[in-house]
Structure 1
Amino acid sequence: MELLFVADPLEVFKTYKDTTFSMMREAARRGHGLWACEPAQLLWQTGAQVTARCRRVRLTGDEHDWFIVEEEAVRPLASFGGVLMRKDPPFDSEYFYATHLLEQAEREGAKVVNKPRALRDHPEKLAILEFPHLIGPTLVTRDPQAVRDFHAQHRDIILKPLDGMGGMGIFRVGPDGLNLGSIIETLNKGGAETVMVQKYLSEITQGDKRILVIDGEPVPFSLARIPQGSEIRGNLAAGGKGVAQPLSARDREIAVEVGKVLAPRGLLLAGIDVIGDCMTEINVTSPTCFQEITQQTGFDVPKMFVDALERVL
């Protein structure tokens, strides 16, 4: 089977930790053909199908020069056995438009994972609102006064933009309210942009747990991303330390409930973030941590994923 990965440029992959690379490696091990393109290389015009200017690649096994381009071609997406949308956030207008092109490709017969409509319907910060009983106190608003009122009630809060990734743009404001006004102005831009505000969860010191859910089934280990030094963010991109650990009973409860909802909607892979006993985000664009969990526990996450991929394709 030939697989097309719609992703960031292959040249920027950090193969020692990249999840998309681990998917490609497992697929290649099974004999599947690997193709890659970027969202900017998708194209549709009247009288034709959605196509991509893409490259067929072979993995070399070298850590640095890790792939060789064997062929370049313009091909309809429907000509592949499967199309994996693995473009990293931000979920901006161009990402949104790419999902529409991918959905058109589906109408033409392409099989896309995760489903484009499901990607649009589950923005990663806001998807948790469907599960209010699984989350901590949360506010989503463009109203600066509502943010101040939320802080007055909860005293210690986290503010974050809706389109960030890797911990970008996250602020903590404690009981003294220091810099709250300035932070609101920075994120809210005078009421022009919506922000998410959540009660600070002190359990973050034990880690922001990434729980992977594949076709509705949780991977039995999470990656607890633990803040280092004076940093409040556990994100690996922000310097957090990743420690794999078995799922707790509560972790599994959350993952199973959310997975049962997401899988039938075409979200083959989701990354649920949990602090303490509370879900904080649902990541569906390009969830990561395959390699860290596999390396630390021996549980083969890429195998579990490609097994599921082969079932749905």
Structure 2
Amino acid sequence: MRILFVADPLSGFKIYKDSTYAMMREAHARGHQVLACIADDLRLKEGVVEAKAQWIGFTETQVGHDWYHIEQESYIALRDVDAVVMRKDPPFDQQYLYATQLFSLAETQGAKVFNRGQALRDFNEKLAIFQFAEYIAPTMVSQNMADIRAFVSEHGDVIVKPLDGMGGAGIFRITNADANLGSILEMLSHNGERLVMAQKYLPAIKDGDKRILLIDGVPVDWCLARIPQNGETRGNLAAGGAGVARPLTAKDREIAEKLGPQLAAQGLLLVGLDVIGENLTEVNVTSPTCFQEIAAQSGINVAGLFIDALERKCC
């Protein structure tokens, strides 16, 4: 197969942990041709969606930035590759939205895109949890600071976060007695102009914010519990959390098996569920990670499972 990865610049990959890198290496090891581009290099020319793609060759180097070389670079229609894998990190801004619209158009021209453009637009990673309300903690979304203050008063201990963040950015734990409550809400809501999510604080975060991976609707048997360190509230690895791989609990599996088929049917080949205790907190669809951490600690070749699914869809 010829697989095009739409990702952030390869020169910035931290290959010791990057999931897209693991996918690329696995695809290459199976004899597939690996292409890459950034979202800014998508274009629509004479009605055809194209990408300025780089054909990637791999070196033996497993550290630093010398793990690849560019064999050639040229424009190629998305319909002329076997699979397009969208791996650009959030934020889901206007440029990201335009990219998903180009993907949707490319699909009408015969391209196979994972995750599908329409699904990326439909599933905001924070708001999507409301489609599975039986599994979520008390949560509200509002740009009205009085609404959020009332929610904080009701629940006492609350997590607030923006709808477009990643890696723990912009997440705060607040109480009604917090002297900085007003400032935090003003900052997150841009003085009442942007929606903010508020969730009841879950003490189970101390045991980890679990990342459960779904590949074509099927859960990987182990998850990665991201455990807050040094008094932090956030377990995100980008915020300094420690990642510990664990087998799925019965509740983890119940949630994953309930959501998996529904999400796969919407065109979401790869999903990362975030679960704290027994509560679903996010549905990650843009560029779910933790492949390498789970693989290293469990022995499960997560990238292999993903490429297996891609081969079933495209070969």
Q: With the length of structure 1 as denominator, give the TM-score of the two structures.
A: 0.98
The residue number in structure 2 matching 1:85 is 86
The residue number in structure 2 matching 1:259 is 260
Q: 1:48 Cα deviation (Å)?
A: 3.8
In the TM superposition, what whole-angstrom CA distance separates every residue of 1:109-131 from its partner, at most 9, and x where no partner exists?
Answer: 11101011000000101110101
The residue number in structure 2 matching 1:208 is 209
Amino acid of the structure 2 residue aligned with 1:217: V
Amino acid of the structure 1 residue aligned with 2:8: D
Identical-pair percentage: 55
In the TM superposition, what whole-angstrom CA distance separates every residue of 1:192-240 from its partner, at most 9, and x where no partner exists?
Answer: 0000000000000000000000011000001000000021100000000
Aligned pairs, number: 312
Give unpaired runs (5+ residues) of structure 2: none
In the TM superposition, what whole-angstrom CA distance separates every residue of 1:256-301 from its partner, at most 9, and x where no partner exists?
Answer: 1111210011100000000000000000000000000000010111
Give me the whole-angstrom Cα distance separating, in 2, the residues matched to 1:178 and 1:215. Answer: 46
Give me the whole-angstrom Cα distance separating, in 1, the residues matched to 2:30 and 2:243. Answer: 29
Give me the whole-angstrom Cα distance separating, in 2, the residues matched to 1:48 and 1:134. Answer: 43
Q: 1:92 Cα deviation (Å)?
A: 0.6
The residue number in structure 2 matching 1:74 is 75
Is 1:121 paired with 2:122?
yes
Give me the whole-angstrom Cα distance separating, in 2, the residues matched to 1:300 and 1:43. Answer: 34
3-state SS, counterpart of residue 8 of structure 2: coil
Please report the RMSD computed on the Cα atoms of aligned residues, expressed in angstroms: 0.8
The residue number in structure 1 matching 2:279 is 278
Q: 1:7 Cα deviation (Å)?
A: 0.4
Q: 1:142 Cα deviation (Å)?
A: 1.0
Give me the whole-angstrom Cα distance separating, in 2, the residues matched to 1:61 and 1:275. Answer: 39
The residue number in structure 2 matching 1:61 is 60
3-state SS, counterpart of residue 74 of structure 1: strand
The residue number in structure 2 matching 1:34 is 34
In the TM superposition, what whole-angstrom CA distance separates every residue of 1:36-78 from its partner, at most 9, and x where no partner exists?
Answer: 0001000003x34111111001111212200011011111111
Give unpaired runs (5+ residues) of structure 1: none
The residue number in structure 2 matching 1:218 is 219
The residue number in structure 1 matching 2:10 is 10
The residue number in structure 1 matching 2:98 is 97
Amino acid of the structure 2 residue aligned with 1:111: K
Question: Does the Cα contact within 8 Å between 2:175 and 2:181 map onto a contact in 1?
Answer: no
3-state SS, counterpart of residue 89 of structure 1: coil
The residue number in structure 2 matching 1:51 is 50
Give me the whole-angstrom Cα distance separating, in 1, the residues matched to 2:284 and 2:162. Answer: 15
Give me the whole-angstrom Cα distance separating, in 1, the residues matched to 2:253 and 2:105. Answer: 35
Q: 1:175 Cα deviation (Å)?
A: 4.9
Q: 1:102 Cα deviation (Å)?
A: 1.0
Q: 1:303 Cα deviation (Å)?
A: 0.9
3-state SS, counterpart of residue 181 of structure 1: helix
Give me the whole-angstrom Cα distance separating, in 1, the residues matched to 2:34 and 2:178. Answer: 52
Give me the whole-angstrom Cα distance separating, in 1, the residues matched to 2:231 and 2:75. Answer: 49
Amino acid of the structure 2 residue aligned with 1:54: A
Is 1:192 paired with 2:193?
yes
Q: Spell out structure 1 runs of 4+ moving beyond 3 A.
A: none
Give me the whole-angstrom Cα distance separating, in 1, the residues matched to 2:161 and 2:176. Answer: 18
The residue number in structure 2 matching 1:165 is 166
